[in-house]
Amino acid sequence: MKRFGVLLCAAMLAGAARYEASAPESEAFTQPIEGLDATHAASFRKGSGIFRQAWVIGPSQDHPDFIGLGPLYNRLSCIACHVKNGRGAAPDSENGVARTMAARLSVDGKDAHGGPRVHPDYGAQLNPEGVPGVAGEGQAVANYAEFDVLFPDGGKITLRRPTLSFRNLAYGPFGPETKTSLRNAPPVYGLGLLEAVAEAEILAGKGRPNFVFDIETGKRALGRFGLKANQPNLKQQIANAFAEDIGITSSLFPVETCAPTLSECRSASKPELSDAQLDAVLNYIRALAPPARRNLEEPPVKDGEALFHQIGCSDCHRDALHVADFPLQPALNGVDIHPYTDLLLHDMGEELADGRDDFEAGPREWRTPPLWGLGLAGKGGDGANFLHDGRARTPAEAILWHGGEAQTSVDAFRNLPEPQRDALLAFLNSL
């Protein structure tokens, strides 16, 4: 009976997953893992509230536990960029300002822990907003130039190449040595299961690991989160996002991110995000289930899955990993999950290069993104834009932007007749 229960839970979470039938597509990314005990269920609800809460400057009688916004920030809450826990949206065509994205900044060299050396005036990322009396740093603007790509069988697809620029820089020009990278907000469901994959299984993959700095241990650790696998665990990933995106300090990141003219605020102070709040958000993210697959028995989906393996996509987008230890739901220990990632770095070619090193990740290297939930992108009000900078509007566009290690697979996709291309895309849409 226990084995049946394990399989049922695994079926809900894995590639053939089924979450609650009553959950509409618009809520597909908001469901908790089945069978959480009362304590973890309560923590999930608390963390969900904090994830959605807008932070304020203070004082506030209405929100006394959510004071400390800024002095510089990108958005007021986590959910503002990760709408319904999904992807960010590309800038609108009217003004091009990136609102659910972040512009990462660095200069030549590395910091004391081997990470990127942040910009001396603007820090690790550009924050467009400031509290009263503090000027926002400026806006990142993405404009897209479209061009057509022809398939050998006469089909056509339009791609778009982004150009990143900046306006209203409040603290002077960046300088010619500045390296910039536009980063779209990635989805946050299923991350707890990826954290539970054993390090040895990740290192057995075909990609290259990124080893980064773990703040709590003070040691070098395997990176598995972030678009370049530049964070070792979810706790550090979440705390860093609070610090960089909302200006909220914590025990992991106790120093405010400030412009040079506000150096007095760089000193450590009482954390604005308590350890209890951080743990609640951590448990919320860890317990978010990936959505169920759909249309598994349709012939195009089956054919597309075979083609996915045949042309080599699964070399990086591994279809199966294993949960090693998952305290939130021990019944899942040892089960298969199907995220379609290896959590490793791969050379994606010059077209996708951002010109920045990130710990051991080079400018052309990106972590393989999970594909589960791909077919539901945009269904809940979240963005339906793909790749690190949101340039791809469809999975087909994303495929054609691949280069480097993936070039052979891209060429194979382009040479497929249209019915087979459609079948491969039908498979991706089923995830």
Segment 168-197 shows an average pLDDT of: 96
pLDDT digits (tens, 9 = 90+) for 258-302: 766 666 566 666 899 999 999 999 999 999 999 989 999 999 999
pLDDT reported for residue 146: 97
More reliable by pLDDT, 272 or 8: 272
CA atoms within 13 A on the CB side of 137: 30
The yes-or-no verdict on residue 11 having pLDDT over 50 is no
Task: Calculate the CA dihedral of residues 129, 250, 68, 80 and round it to 10 degrees.
Answer: 50
pLDDT digits (tens, 9 = 90+) for 237-255: 999 999 999 999 999 999 9
pLDDT reported for residue 95: 78
Kindly state the tokens that stand for 426: 């039908």
The yes-or-no verdict on residue 39 having pLDDT over 60 is yes
Segment 85-103 shows an average pLDDT of: 87
pLDDT reported for residue 61: 78
- Look at the alpha carbons of 7, 12, 14, 17 in this order and tell me if their dihedral is positive or negative: positive
- Look at the alpha carbons of 407, 107, 172, 388 in this order and tell me if their dihedral is positive or negative: positive
The yes-or-no verdict on residue 305 having pLDDT over 90 is yes
Q: Strand 179-184 to strand 101-110: parallel, antiparallel, or no bridges (unpaired)?
A: antiparallel
The yes-or-no verdict on residue 2 having pLDDT over 70 is no
**pLDDT tier for residue 200 given thresholds of 50, 70 and 90:** very high
What's the mean per-residue pLDDT of the chain? 91
pLDDT reported for residue 342: 98
pLDDT reported for residue 91: 84
Closest Cα to residue 113, out of 345, 358, 362?
358
Burial class (CB in 10 A: 0-12, 13-18, 19+), 318: buried
Segment 32-41 shows an average pLDDT of: 92
- Taking the C-alpha atoms of residue 187 and residue 189, their distance in angstroms, rounded to an integer, is 6
Burial class (CB in 10 A: 0-12, 13-18, 19+), 247: buried
Cα distances (Å, whole numbers) of residue 98 to 89, 214, 257:
8, 30, 20
The yes-or-no verdict on residue 34 having pLDDT over 50 is yes
- Look at the alpha carbons of 115, 120, 271, 82 in this order and tell me if their dihedral is positive or negative: negative
More reliable by pLDDT, 13 or 427: 427
